């Protein structure tokens, strides 16, 4: 194993940075290639067929180009639709991001949990299976929000979130039958932990949020145990799939996550 071989994290946009933050805490010396498929963004409003056609092909290209030691699909939408196909096609470890329904169900006292994801994620059979397997005795409420994804993208470009808009998306779970009893809310889109402060600010007392970031970091650490890392850390790289005018606006946020070079695929 080449010590410089990177971990490649992949999302439609900035959402995967919430996963990257956890991975960097766990393996600070890991070389990082972070890929935002801004040319395909947003994923959450696309069809299963569109995601299934785009993501495996793009990851194949990225694997060839960057020779990563491991890929993290830091996107619930892409993972719940395409994880199995990507794993079958590529000969390297692929870590997916799927809704943290299991930890939410373990922590819930009221047995009512919410799943806040993209529209595409919350309708996936993968989520049905997680709910049956790990939360069989819970009421599992779901809401798909495209607006929260946009708000998170804007926040990382310096535009402050409107708390009323964030509250409205959370309310879409709370107003459902038994919603007022919900005590765990799964942030089932990697963009949403980037709005953690805002979510906490508008949440009713006692509601807790759960996401998959720390679990993914543990998994990556386990899968790379014993592998060499560079002695002096390499600067992280951000790769975009599409030329965009707001590359300048996003640069300060990317550097906060250790990504100092931005380039086009
Ligand atoms: N961050 C992504 C997820 O976890 C998708 C956001 C989008 O492109 O709609 O689902």
Q: Facing residues of 45 across strands? A: none
pLDDT at 137: 98
Q: Angle, nearest 10°, between helix axes 125-134 and 76-89?
A: 100
Clarify whether residues 160 and 219 are in a common domain: no
DSSP assigned state of 235: P
Alpha carbons 242 and 40: distance in angstroms, whole number: 9
Alpha carbons 237 and 252: distance in angstroms, whole number: 13
Clarify whether residues 195 and 259 are in a common domain: no
Ligand 1 centre and the CA of 231: distance in Å? 34
Alpha carbons 85 and 73: distance in angstroms, whole number: 12
- Cβ atoms 226, 153 nearer than 8 A: no
Domain limit, last residue, from 211, 226, 247: 211
- Residue among 13, 83, 123, 152 to mutate when testing ligand 1 (max atoms within 8 A of CB): 13
Domain limit, last residue, from 193, 211, 229: 211
Clarify whether residues 150 and 74 are in a common domain: no
Clarify whether residues 86 and 113 are in a common domain: no
Q: Is 42 in the pocket of ligand 1 (CB under 6 A)?
A: yes
Known active-site residue 185: no
Pick the atom of ligand 1 nearest to 43's CA. 8
pLDDT at 233: 85
pLDDT at 208: 98
Clarify whether residues 22 and 118 are in a common domain: no
Clarify whether residues 218 and 206 are in a common domain: no
Q: How many structural domains is the chain composed of?
A: 2
pLDDT at 28: 96
Q: Is 149 in the pocket of ligand 1 (CB under 6 A)?
A: yes
Clarify whether residues 167 and 131 are in a common domain: yes
Quick check: is 15 in a domain? yes
CATH of the domain at 39: 3.40.50.1860
- Cβ atoms 38, 13 nearer than 8 A: yes
Clarify whether residues 116 and 206 are in a common domain: yes
Known active-site residue 189: yes
Whether the ω angle into residue 71 lies within 30 degrees of 0, i.e. cis, is: no
pLDDT at 15: 98
Quick check: is 218 in a domain? yes
What range does the domain containing 139 cover?
101-211
Tell me the pLDDT of the chain (265 aa) as tens digits: 899 999 999 999 999 999 999 999 999 999 999 999 999 999 999 999 999 999 999 999 999 999 999 999 999 999 999 999 999 999 999 999 999 999 999 999 999 999 999 999 999 999 999 999 999 999 999 999 999 999 999 999 999 999 999 999 999 999 999 999 999 999 999 999 999 999 999 999 999 999 999 999 999 999 999 999 999 889 999 999 999 888 889 999 999 999 999 999 9
pLDDT at 245: 82
Clarify whether residues 218 and 202 are in a common domain: no
Clarify whether residues 93 and 218 are in a common domain: yes
């Amino acid at each position: 194993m080449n010590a410089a071989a990177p971990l490649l994290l992949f999302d439609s946009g900035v959402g995967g940075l919430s996963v990257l933050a956890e991975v960097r805490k766990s393996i600070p010396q890991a070389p990082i290639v972070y890929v935002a498929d801004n040319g395909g963004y947003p994923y959450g409003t696309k069809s299963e067929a569109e995601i299934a056609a785009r993501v495996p092909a793009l990851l194949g290209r990225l694997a060839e180009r960057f020779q990563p030691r491991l890929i993290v699909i830091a996107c619930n939408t892409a993972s719940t639709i395409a994880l199995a196909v990507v794993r079958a096609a590529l000969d390297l470890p692929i870590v997916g991001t799927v809704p943290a329904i299991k930890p939410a169900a373990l922590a819930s006292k009221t047995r009512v949990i919410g799943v806040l994801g993209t529209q595409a994620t919350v309708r996936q059979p993968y989520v049905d299976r997680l709910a049956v397997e790990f939360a069989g005795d819970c009421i599992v409420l779901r809401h798909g929000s495209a607006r929260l994804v946009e708000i998170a993208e804007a926040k990382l470009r310096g535009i402050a979130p409107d708390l009323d808009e964030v509250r409205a998306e959370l309310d879409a779970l709370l107003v459902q039958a038994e919603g007022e009893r919900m005590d765990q809310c799964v942030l089932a889109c990697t963009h949403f932990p980037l709005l953690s402060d805002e979510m906490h600010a508008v949440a009713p007392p006692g509601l807790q949020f759960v996401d998959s970031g720390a679990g993914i970091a543990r998994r990556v650490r386990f899968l790379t145990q014993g592998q060499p890392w560079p002695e002096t850390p390499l600067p992280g790289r951000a790769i975009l799939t599409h030329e965009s005018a707001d590359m300048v606006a996003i640069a300060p946020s990317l550097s906060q996550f250790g990504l100092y070079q931005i380039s086009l695929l």
